[in-house]
Amino acid sequence: MEKPVMCKIIDIIDESPTVKTFLLDNEFDFKPGQFAMVWIPEIDEKPFGFSSKNSISIAKVGKFTEKIHSLKKGDLLGIRGPYGNNFECIGTKILAVAGGIGSAPVISAVEAFSKLGVEITSVIGGRTKDELLFLDRFEKCGKTFACTDDCSFGFGGFTTEKMLELLLEEKFDMVITCGPEIMMKKVVEIAENNNIPIQVSLERYMKCGIGICGQCAVDDEGLCVCKDGPVFWSDKLKFVSEFGKYKRDASGAIL
């Protein structure tokens, strides 16, 4: 197992009340959708997706992420990776659907595909206006529709509702998505009902990040999110019965 690269935090961006982006003094040759194992010395190591070649965006959801959020400029993080597969660019017109912290891996794909001349339409969601992530970056890449659960900004409602509206007006060659799993399951259903190929980025508890420990295996298929994912085509997810209703404890056991 490779050793972490120790990186200095050179800047911290408050993206929302619960999400911070940590800019590092090292650039990583990652592909959109890949992740890194982020290590705090003497604390723990957890997986997070890259939001750019030198940044990791992290939502505060537990003790480990609370510790990361307490770090300051000049502090060190260990980065191991990049790992996993990535979003593939198929076609010339792509719809991106992202919710919450799922916007981090999606924005990296949207920016990369946009540079290839692909026409991108993005639908991003948050519970409130303050929780919409990377809105300015999405808007620079193409048409962007912001959705808020509380109707405080943009489209008042779910990303899936806006997706349905768009599909009545336009056709897309592919859909990519990342966000709450219940949202992604609905996005997959909508895409498949419209015969559109779709790639989905999953999140699971991980320890090794390279397919050895098996903690991130899904169902009886033996697929490891770290090695076989985190990005999956929807045909693979048909055999994952926990998709869309997944909930595990810190050991990785299904609740």
Domain 93-201: assigned CATH number: 3.40.50.80
| pLDDT tens figures, 15-48 | 999 999 999 999 999 999 999 999 998 888 999 9
Beta 198-201 vs 231-233: how paired, if at all?
A: antiparallel
- Which pLDDT belongs to residue 225? 63
Residue 216 marked as a ligand binder: yes
- Judge whether 213 is annotated as a binding position: yes
According to the model, what pLDDT value does residue 251 have? Answer: 45
Tens of pLDDT, residues 204-216: 655 555 555 555 5
Average model confidence (pLDDT) across the chain: 88
Q: Is 151 annotated as a binding residue?
A: no
Percent of residues, the chain, with pLDDT higher than 70: 82
DSSP state string for the chain: -PPPEEEEEEEEEE-SSSEEEEEESS-----TT-EEEEEETTTEEEEEEEEETTEEEEE--SHHHHHHHT--TT-EEEEEEEES------SSEEEEEEEGGGHHHHHHHHHHHHHTT-EEEEEEEESSGGG--SHHHHHHHEEEEEEETTSSSSEES-HHHHHHHHHHH---SEEEEES-HHHHHHHHHHHHHTT--EEEE-----SSSSSSS-TTEEGGGTEEHHHH-SEEEHHHHTT-TTTTS--B-TTS-B-
pLDDT level of residue 2 (50, 70, 90 thresholds):
confident
pTM: 0.88
Residue 181 CB coordination number (10 Å): 19
pLDDT band with cut points at 50, 70 and 90 for residue 92: very high
List pLDDT tens digits, range 41-82.
888 899 999 999 999 999 998 899 999 999 999 999 999 999
Q: How confident is the model at residue 246 (pLDDT cuts 50, 70, 90)?
A: low
Give residue limits of the domains in the chain.
Answer: 5-83, 93-201
pLDDT at residue 97 greater than cutoff 80: yes
Q: What is the CATH number of domain 5-83?
A: 2.40.30.10
Per-residue burial over 188-211, b = 16 or more CB atoms within 10 Å of its CB, e = otherwise: bebbeeeebbbbbbbbbebbbbbb
